[in-house]
Structures are given as C-alpha cells and as structure tokens.
Amino acid sequence: MISYIVRIIGLAVGALIYTLGLDIFLVPNQVIDGGIVGVSLMVAQVTGLSFSVFIILFNIPFFILGYKKIGSLFTVLSLISVISLSFWNKILHMAHLTPVTYDPFLSTVFGGIIIGVGVGLIIRWGGLIRWNGNFSHYCR
C-alpha cells in the first residue's frame, strides 16, 4: 500500500515540475511543447477554453490503447500523471506566477530542462505523460 502512495506522490511531483516548466518558461514566451501537450495548448489558445480540459480529452484514446496493450496499472499511473498535470496547471494559473525570463532562447533551454526532469520523475514512478516515442517502446 505504501509503495502505491509513494508512486502517486512521485507522479504528482513530476507533474508539478512539468507544469512549472510550462507555466514559468514556455507558455509566457509563446514557446510550445510538442505532442499532445502542445496540441492541447494550441487548441486552448484558439478556443479560449482551459488547457486542463483538452489535455485530459486528447489523452483518452491513449489511455484506452494503453490499457489494451500494456495493462491496467500502467494506464492508471499514466492517468494519475495527466490528471495531476491538469490539476497543477489550474492551481498555478490561479497563483499568477511571473515568468523567470522573457528571452525565448533561455525560456526554451530552461523550460526544456525542467520539463525533462518532470517527465523523468513520471517515468521513474511508472507513468507516462508524453505518449509519442515512449508509448511505442512500451507496446513492443
């Protein structure tokens, strides 16, 4: 039981770090992330609706495929990761954090590093938030 709690905390911390990279570095400088996160950011910008809604909606097909190909534990942990990302995004938007830099190059470098740490923690604790290359590796 404790190992599941530790995993969930690890996934939530990874999602928080990922969201900090997005909200403090990339989004304020109009630098977009790739994959489903990037598509969710673009659709949210165009429609004016919340990024948090789109990140969950666009991941649903991958949750279904992940459940069929890999298993329920992996899918649940990935679902926790995406819901945590959505939750932290809402919380950080309410906090009105100021960007660290307005230089697009620096924001890309530092945002990428921070997002990489967040993704690494999520993968370390058994989840997945970026379905592109990692998902195909798991499905082999």
Digitized pLDDT (tens) for each residue of the chain, 140 residues in all: 669 999 999 999 999 999 999 999 999 999 988 889 999 999 999 999 999 999 999 999 988 988 888 888 888 999 999 999 999 999 999 999 999 999 999 999 999 999 999 999 999 998 888 765 555 555 56
What is the Cα–Cα distance from 132 to 5, expressed in whole angstroms? 27
Supply the pTM of this predicted model: 0.89
Please give the structure tokens belonging to residue 21: 């990279």
With contact defined as beta carbons under 8 Å apart, do 25 and 110 qualify? yes
Return the amino acid letter for 4.
Y
Closest CA to 26 of 123, 118, 132: 118
What is the Cα–Cα distance from 97 to 21, expressed in whole angstroms? 12
Return the amino acid letter for 130.
R
- Virtual torsion, Cα 109, 114, 119, 124, nearest 10 deg: 130
Number of domains composing the chain? 1
Estimate the crossing angle of helix 2-20 against helix 104-124, to 10 degrees: 170
pLDDT at 134: 57
Length of the chain as a residue count: 140
Please give the structure tokens belonging to residue 77: 């942990």
pLDDT at 139: 58
pLDDT at 47: 96
pLDDT at 83: 96
Q: Which helix (H) or strand (E) holds 92?
A: helix 72-95
Domain around 61: 2-138
